[in-house]
Structure 1
Amino acid sequence: MLLWDGYRPQRAVDCFLRWSQQPEDGRTKLRHYPNIDRAEMFEQGYVAARSGHSRGSTVDLTLYHLATGELVPMGGDHDLMDSVSHHGARGISQVEARNRQHLCSVMAASGFDSYDYEWWHYTLKEEPYPDTYFDFPVA
């Protein structure tokens, strides 16, 4: 497994919210949100103003081949805010769908729930702090 994101301080989430309200500059639109406006990320459920990452209970991850270090094909990049990122998305190959299902089954067996809109996003079912959003910086 390759972990992309784990704990995220609330101040980082707040910064992202402020960024989403700024005029579009085009720098990340094609890679991360090609079919929506940046403000719609929150409205459509791709980003939350109060994130499970800030509770320390959510991870973004994928599978990779240990022998080669290559990422396993999942059909859509990490942090792509688009319907192709949803679990059960149409338009991905059978291999990519199987890889997503494999990741999902491993995470479910390990006590995590998937997030319908993002194949890479999992939250611990029995969170130790389900109502706390931490804001300590990571150095």
Structure 2
Amino acid sequence: MMCGKGGLALLLGVAMLAGCAGPSLTGTTYSREEARQVHYVRYGIVESVTPVVIEGRTDGPVGTGAGAIVGGIAGSNVGGGSGRAVGAVLGAVAGGVLGSTIEESATRKQGQEIMLRLDNGETISLVQEVEDGQFFRPGERVRLLQSGGTTRVTY
């Protein structure tokens, strides 16, 4: 099956967007490595909640790489002779920058900064992704789960 340049660009674009899905940062999503690990539990009361934005990935090779490939293909169709090579290089650079920007935007998350007063009197703040559009509310009693370098707030 032959795939034209337009089809290849479309395929790469779809692959780029599929690769943008990052790990969830909610309080109820666990990585494979966190399963079957001891989590230390503390309890507290939510003092305040502030909506925040959790920046998207800018270190992923998917957006930059796929963007560079698509841009290079598109740029190679500009001009003729050595102009095509220059167009391919410029297209690859521009595509890489655009791909990286798209990846950051696609992986950006709605977050919440949760200020907690723990039962031991300590006040702490933690940022995590908002789950299903539901923010914690001041006055709610919550659990703080800690394991390794990961801490999460749950009910």
Instruction: Give the TM-score normalised by structure 1.
Output: 0.24
Larger relative helix fraction: 2
Instruction: Give the TM-score normalised by structure 2.
Output: 0.22
Larger relative strand fraction: 2
